[in-house]
A = this chain, B = another copy of it.
Amino acid sequence: MTTPRLSLNQRLRKSPFEERSHVGATLASVYNHVVLPSVYASLEEDYWHLREHVQIWDVACQVQVEVQGPDALALMEYLTPRDLSQIVPGQCVYAPLIDADAGIVNDPIILCLAPDRFWLSISDSDVLLWVKGLATGAGFNVRVFDPDVFPVSIQGPKSDLLLSRLIDTPTEDIRRFRFIEAKIADTDLIIARTGWSGQGGFEFYLAESAKGVDLWDTIVGAATDLNLRSGCPNLIDRIETGLLSHGNDMTFSNNPIEAGLDRFFKLGKDSDYLGRQALEEIASAGPSQRMVRIMVPGSGITNPREIYPMTVSGSEQLGSVTSICHSPRMRCHVGFAYAPADSCSPGTRITISTPAGDAEGQIADEHWRVDASDHSVG
């Protein structure tokens, strides 16, 4: 069944780049009340292009929540189990936000603009309301607001070359998860070496919406010989890269330990944070399920509209597939799933139930290997 076309009104916030980015987009979604293109040529064609060239992405949907004031750092620490005590201006930190039950509210990138000023560059939920609600209720001395700052991104192996034509700072001076302030097309920008692909790239944070189209055209104009195309976060690339999507691979019902985000925080951080007790209890009991990568031979299984149930060899407990697609490079399906914690090691046999029937596969490790001794895939 073909889906309806998107209707636009003011309730869907206007991206500063949409006059350009909507051209050629065949599929799109809505993310943080902003349109997010999801396919241009085709999922696979977009994927190969992203791996080989450079793409410009309208990621205005990664809206910012600004927290400013004397209690800004204390509030940021309160929001996440990640230790932010060493954060410095110019740094970007990926940090799961959790509630009192350790459920994942959102998983933003936190940008430290100043010791008392932060942006949360968010995934798809109204973090503004969450942070404002908590700050208001608990009496933190901060201002929490939406600063009208929208990112555009360049991603792909030619991103460094492209950026080097646009700014004076040598691009190698911008370390991973760091940002600089720079000017392009006479517009002040924050430029971070971050982005939602595995192919490298940068995100440009634009505060002056009216300059969005000019900025876009300037970037495109500097890439005439680079085979640049409009693109967007690509399902195949993001699964291969291991990037979890909030709303797909984790929700309020998941805690960051089972979602495998524990590498982004330490349990015993000094500052107090919401959900500490719940999280420590989960850590001490051990989670009942764990996020794993799965590989399933064949092709034709599409990403689930609802989770696909998964049986796991050696466990009574059911698992669930949260994202899956066909990888043209690995020539099989790759995906994310929650597997019972007692049976989640690489190589474990699985069966997933999809509308097209059952399919068998295996749990893989972080390098897409189903057996530690097998280096043939990945």
Q: Which residues of A contact B (CB under 8 A)?
A: 1-12, 14, 22-23, 25-31, 33, 35, 37-39, 99-100, 105, 124-127, 129-139, 146, 245-248, 252, 274, 303-307, 322-323
CA of A105 to CA of B323, assembled, Å = 33
Question: Is the CB–CB distance between B33 and A6 below 8 Å?
Answer: no
Q: Beyond A10-B304, A10-B307: 6 further Cβ-contacts under 8 Å?
A: A1-B22, A3-B5, A4-B37, A10-B247, A10-B248, A11-B248
User: Top 4 nearest A-B pairs by Cβ distance?
Assistant: A137-B137, A133-B133, A11-B247, A137-B138
- Distance of A177 from chain B, by nearest CB (Å): 24
Residue of A14, A136, A303 most packed against chain B (CB within 10 A): A136
Question: Is the CB–CB distance between A4 and B5 below 8 Å?
Answer: yes
CA of A124 to CA of B323, assembled, Å = 26
Question: Is the CB–CB distance between B130 and A11 below 8 Å?
Answer: no
> What B residues does A307 contact at CB under 8 A?
10
> What B residues does A131 contact at CB under 8 A?
133
Contact of A5 among B2, B9, B130, B303 (CB under 8 A): B2
> What B residues does A2 contact at CB under 8 A?
5
Question: Is the CB–CB distance between A6 and B28 below 8 Å?
Answer: yes
> What B residues does A303 contact at CB under 8 A?
9
> What B residues does A28 contact at CB under 8 A?
3-7
> What B residues does A305 contact at CB under 8 A?
8-10, 14
- Distance of A18 from chain B, by nearest CB (Å): 9
Given contacts A1-B22, A12-B29, contact A132 B130 (CB under 8 A): yes
Question: Is the CB–CB distance between A137 and B133 below 8 Å?
Answer: yes
The residue on B at minimum CB distance from A137 is B137
Question: Is the CB–CB distance between A6 and B9 below 8 Å?
Answer: no
Question: Is the CB–CB distance between B126 and A125 below 8 Å?
Answer: yes
Residue of A10, A132, A133, A306 most packed against chain B (CB within 10 A): A133
- Distance of A292 from chain B, by nearest CB (Å): 17
> What B residues does A134 contact at CB under 8 A?
133-134, 136-137
> What B residues does A306 contact at CB under 8 A?
10, 14
Q: Could you give 19 example pairs across A and B, Cβ below 8 Å?
A: A1-B22, A1-B23, A3-B8, A4-B26, A5-B28, A6-B27, A6-B28, A7-B28, A7-B38, A11-B31, A100-B136, A125-B126, A127-B129, A130-B132, A133-B135, A133-B137, A136-B137, A137-B137, A146-B252
Residue of A28, A139, A245 most packed against chain B (CB within 10 A): A28
